[in-house]
């Protein structure tokens, strides 16, 4: 028997996405977003949902671009910091000692130390209520060579991304491999 929790945003896993933008003055900003993910394969698109009150909201509207940087678990404190403080009040790159890198494809910065980044042009803006969903076309994915597998793809066990647990309000790392997709289910 299942217990009703009410109408809530409980889902697991949700990602830890660091959204990078420039403000009007050209100051780089980053914020942490768990409400997002890939939403289309062709064109390749990623969605991030932000509240209008965030500093990043206006930046995306003005610049029509954003990046998504994936922090590895060793940057858990920095990733959490990006979700606590507003870019209105602080230069978050300076505060954390991380490096803003200007994308050569879109008008937005990414976090140089994070192993995997997506550079996105704003394609759709969907008003949903408290959150606005920004859908960006992924113009390029860039990864540190150190996190690539032998086929040149990012290896999740080397990227070591985090999961945000909505119920617990905790960050978790990646666990053990449970099987190959499009393969283990053929046995049934």
Q: Hey, which residues between 12 and 51 contact a copy of itself (CB under 8 A)? A: 12-15, 34-47, 49
Q: Hey, which residues between 157 and 186 contact a copy of itself (CB under 8 A)? A: 157, 159, 161-186
> Given the rule CB under 8 A, which of 9-17, 22-30, 58-66 is the region that contacts a copy of itself?
9-17
Name the minimum Å distance from CB 6 to a copy of itself: 6
Q: Closer to a copy of itself at the Cβ: 58 or 155?
A: 155
> Given the rule CB under 8 A, which of 22-30, 54-62, 152-160 is the region that contacts a copy of itself?
152-160
Residue whose tokens read 């890939």: 38
- Most distant pair of Cα atoms in the chain: their distance: 58
Q: Closer to a copy of itself at the Cβ: 24 or 180?
A: 180
Binding mask 48-87 for a copy of itself (x = CB under 8 A): -x------------------x-x--x--xxxxxxxxxx--
According to CB under 8 A, which one of 6, 24, 53, 150 is a site residue for a copy of itself?
A: 6
Name the minimum Å distance from CB 94 to a copy of itself: 11
Cis peptide before 13 (omega within 30 of 0): yes
Residue 174 phi/psi, 5-degree rounding, is: -90, 135
φ/ψ region of 56 (left if φ > 0, alpha if ψ in -120 to 50, else beta) reads: alpha
102 exposure class (CB count in 10 Å sphere: 0-12, 13-18, 19+): middle
CA distance 32 to 22: 15
7 contacts 22 by C-beta, under 8 angstroms: no
Q: DSSP code of 22?
A: E
Residues 6+ apart with CB under 8 A from 102: 109
Neighbours of 157 (CB within 10 A): 11
Binding mask 117-146 for a copy of itself (x = CB under 8 A): xx-----x-x-xxxx-x-x-xxxxxxxxx-
Name the minimum Å distance from CB 50 to a copy of itself: 10
Q: Closer to a copy of itself at the Cβ: 24 or 175?
A: 175
Q: Hey, which residues between 82 and 121 contact a copy of itself (CB under 8 A)? A: 82-85, 95-96, 116-118
């Amino acid at each position: 028997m299942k217990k009703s929790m009410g109408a809530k945003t409980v889902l697991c896993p949700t990602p830890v996405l660091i959204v990078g933008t420039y403000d009007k003055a050209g100051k780089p900003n980053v914020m942490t977003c768990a409400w997002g993910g890939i939403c289309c394969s062709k064109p390749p698109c990623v969605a991030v949902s932000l509240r209008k009150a965030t500093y990043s909201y206006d930046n995306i509207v003005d610049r029509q671009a954003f990046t998504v940087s994936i922090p590895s678990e060793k940057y858990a404190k920095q990733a959490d910091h990006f979700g606590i403080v507003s870019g209105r009040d602080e230069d978050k790159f300076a505060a954390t000692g991380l490096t803003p890198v200007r994308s050569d494809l879109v008008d937005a910065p990414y976090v140089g130390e994070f192993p995997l980044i997506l550079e996105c042009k704003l394609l759709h803006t969907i008003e949903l209520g408290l959150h606005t969903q920004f859908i960006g076309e992924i113009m390029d994915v860039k990864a540190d060579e150190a996190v690539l597998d032998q086929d040149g793809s990012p290896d999740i066990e080397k990227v070591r991304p985090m999961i945000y647990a909505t119920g617990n309000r905790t960050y978790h790392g990646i666990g053990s491999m449970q099987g190959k997709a499009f393969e283990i289910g053929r046995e049934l």
